[in-house]
Amino acid sequence: MQYETLMHTFEPIYDNNSTILILGSFPSVKSRKQQFYYGHPQNRFWKVVAALTHEEVPQTTEQKKKLLLNNHIALWDVIARCDIIGSADSTIKNVQPNDMNIILSGAPIKQIYANGGKAYELYLKYCYPVSEREIIKLPSTSPANAAYGFEKLCEEWQQILRETE
C-alpha cells in the first residue's frame, strides 16, 4: 500500500446541548466508505457508548446521531486532511487539523476526550495551542487495541457520563 492524501469529508456531530466532545484521529477506510464515524464493525465505539447510556446499539447513521445528541455528546476528528496508508494511525503525516472552534463556539462543551493515543497526541500538537482547552485521553475503541477488553473499555470510558448529566 502507499500513502494517499485524503480530506475528512463528513460533518462533525453536535448541537447546542452538547457538553462533551469526543475526538478521533481520522476516519478509517470503512468509515470513509460509509461517510460516518466508526464504521468498522469491529470498532467498539458504538457498543461502548450504547452500554454507558443504557441504550440499544445503533445500526443506522440516524440512530447513531440520535444516540450522541440525546446524550449531549459531540463527535469529530482532529484531522481535516492528511497523508495516510489505509486506516493506520501510525502512518499519518502532513496533518492539517480541523478547526475545533466550529464546535467549541457552537456548543457548551465542558470536556474534550480523545478516543486513543493518536487523537490525543495530534490534538495536543495542532489544536491545543489554538483552543487552550484540555483533553483527556481514553483508551481507543479500535479493534487494534487488544489490551482492553469490552468491560475494561467501558470502565475507562465511564467518566464521560459525568459531563453529560
Nearest to 38 by CA among 15, 17, 18, 63: 63
For the stretch 72-108, pLDDT in tens is 999 999 999 999 999 888 999 999 999 999 999 999 9
Q: Identity (one letter) of the amino acid at 35? A: Q
Give the domain extent around 92.
4-164
Degrees to nearest 5, angle at CA 160 with 33 and 68: 40
Degrees to nearest 5, angle at CA 98 with 135 and 5: 125
With beta carbons less than 8 A apart as the criterion, state whether 23 and 78 touch.
yes
pLDDT > 90 in the chain, percent: 91
pTM over 0.85: yes
Residue 31 belongs to a domain with what CATH number? Answer: 3.40.470.10
Partners of residue 77 on adjacent β-strands:
24
Active site residue 43: yes
Q: Whole-angstrom Cα distance, residue 111 to residue 155?
A: 18
Q: Tell me how many domains the chain contains.
A: 1
Give mean pLDDT, residues 130-134.
96
Q: Whole-angstrom Cα distance, residue 6 to residue 59?
A: 26
Helix 61-70 to helix 45-53 angle (10° resolution) is 40
Of the residues 16, 17, 43, 98, only one is catalytic, namely 43
Average confidence score pLDDT of the chain: 95
For the stretch 9-51, pLDDT in tens is 999 999 999 999 999 999 999 999 999 999 999 999 999 999 9
What the block records as the C-alpha cell of 102 is: 466550529
Give the model's pLDDT for residue 92.
Answer: 95
pLDDT confidence bin for 143, thresholds 50/70/90: confident
Q: What stretches of the chain show up as alpha helix (H) in DSSP?
A: 29-34, 45-53, 61-70, 101-104, 117-122, 128-131, 150-157, 160-164
Residue 115 confidence (pLDDT) above 70: yes
